[in-house]
Chain A
Amino acid sequence: MQLALDLNVNEVFFWKAVAFAGTPFAINRVVLLMIFASVLCLAFFFLGSRKGAIVPKGFQTLAETGYLFVRNQIAIDVIGPEEGPKYANYLAALFFFIFFGNLLEIVPGINFPVTSRMAIPALLSGLTYIIFNFIGIKKQGFRHYFGGTLFPPGVPKAIYIILTPIELFSVFIIRPLTLAVRLLANMMAGHVLLTIFFIFSADFVAFKPSLPLGLMTGVVGAVLIVFELLVISIQAYIFTMLTAFYIAEAIHGHGEEDPSVSTEHGLSDSPVDAAARAAA
Chain B
Amino acid sequence: MSGAGLTLAAGVTDTGIKSLAHGLVYGLAAIGPGVGIGLVFSSAIEAMARQPETAGTTRTTMFLGFALIEALALIGFVLAFIV
Contact = CB atoms under 8 A, between A and B. Distances in A.
A267 interface: yes
A271 B43 CA distance: 24
Given A238-B67, A242-B67, A265-B54, A178 B75 contact: yes
Size category of the A interface is: 20 to 34
Interface in A154-190: 178, 181-182, 184-186, 189
A237 B63 contact: yes
Of the candidates A184, A185, A186, A242, the one having the most CB atoms from chain B within 10 angstroms of its own CB is: A185
Interface string A205-231: 000000000000000000000000000
Interface of B: 53-54, 56-57, 60, 63-64, 66-68, 70-71, 74-75, 77-78
A44 interface: no
B77 A185 contact: yes
A214 to B, nearest CB: 24
Contacts of B70: 182
A186 B74 contact: yes
A41 B70 CA distance: 28
Nearest to B81: A188
Q: Is the interface of B mostly helix, strand, loop or mixed?
A: helix
A77 B64 CA distance: 13
A122 B12 CA distance: 39
A181 B64 contact: no
Interface in A71-85: 73, 77-78
A185 B63 contact: no
Nearest to A234: B63
A178 B70 CA distance: 10
A131 interface: no
Given A182-B67, A265-B54, A241 B74 contact: no
B7 to A, nearest CB: 28
A241 B53 contact: no
Contact of A77 (B60, B66, B68, B71): B60
Given A77-B56, A261-B57, A265-B54, 5 more contacts: A181-B74, A182-B67, A182-B74, A241-B64, A265-B53
Contact of A178 (B54, B66, B71, B77): B71
B71 A241 contact: no
Contacts of B78: 181, 184-185
A178 B60 CA distance: 19
24 contacts: A73-B56, A77-B56, A77-B57, A178-B71, A181-B74, A181-B75, A182-B67, A182-B71, A182-B74, A184-B78, A185-B74, A185-B77, A185-B78, A189-B77, A237-B63, A238-B63, A238-B67, A241-B63, A241-B64, A241-B67, A261-B57, A264-B57, A265-B54, A265-B57
